[in-house]
Amino acid sequence: MFAQILNPTGNLFVTWLVALIPVAALLFMLAVLRWSAWLATLVGSLITLALGLWIWQMPLAQGIQAYIYGSLTGVWYVDWITFWGVMLFNTMVITGAFDKLRRWLIAQGTQDVRVQTLLFAWAFGALLEGLVGFGYPWAFVAPILIALGIPDLDAIRVAAIANNAPVSYGALGTPIITLAAVTGYPLLALSGSISKIVAILAILPPWILLYLVSGKKGMWGAWPLAIVGSLGYIAGQLPVGTYLGPYLPDVAGSIVCFICLLILLKVWQPAQVLGYGGKPITGNARMEEHGLSAGEIFQGWLPIVVLIVVVVAWTGPWSKLPGIIGLHLQVTASSSIATGATIAAIFNWTPFVGGSSILASWIVSAILLRVNGKQLGEIWNKTWSQMWGACLVGVFIFGLAFVFNYSGMAGSLAKGFSVIGPAFIVVAPILGFIGVALSGSNTSTNAMFGKFQALVGQALGFPPLLLPTVNSVGAEIGKPVAPQTASVGVSTSRFVRNEGEVIRHNFLWCLVVLGYLIVISVACYLFFPGITNL
Give the tens place of pLDDT for each residue, 128-165: 888 877 667 777 788 788 877 888 888 888 988 998 77
Is the pLDDT reported for residue 409 higher than 60?
A: yes
> From the CB of residue 282, how many other CB atoms can be counted at a distance below 10 Å?
8
pLDDT digits (tens, 9 = 90+) for 445-473: 888 788 889 988 988 999 999 999 999 99
- 435 pLDDT above the threshold of 90: no
pLDDT score recorded for residue 218: 94
Confidence band, pLDDT 50/70/90 cuts, at residue 186: very high
Using CB atoms within 10 Å of the CB of residue 6, give its burial: 0 to 12 exposed, 13 to 18 middle, 19+ buried: middle
Calculate the average pLDDT of the chain: 88
The answer to whether 23 and 401 are in contact (CB under 8 A) is no
**What number is the average pLDDT over the span 397-415?**
88
What is the arithmetic mean of pLDDT over 225-231? 96
pLDDT in tens, 467-513: 999 999 999 898 887 766 666 666 556 766 566 677 788 888 999 99
* CB atoms closer than 10 angstroms to residue 341: 10
Judged against a pLDDT cut of 60, whether residue 29 lies above it is answered with yes
> What's the rounded Cα separation, in Å, for the pair 253 and 231?
9
Asked whether the predicted pLDDT for residue 288 surpasses 80, the reply is no
Residue 393 CA to residue 165 CA, distance in Å, equals: 24
pLDDT tens for residues 367-389? 999 999 999 999 999 889 888 88
pTM of the predicted model as reported, rounded to 2 decimal places: 0.84
Indicate if the alpha-carbon torsion angle 416, 419, 421, 426 is positive or negative: negative
DSSP 459-496: HHT--TTHHHHHHHHHHHHHGGG-HHHHHHHTTTSTTT
| Tens-digit pLDDT profile for residues 289-306 | 778 899 999 999 999 999
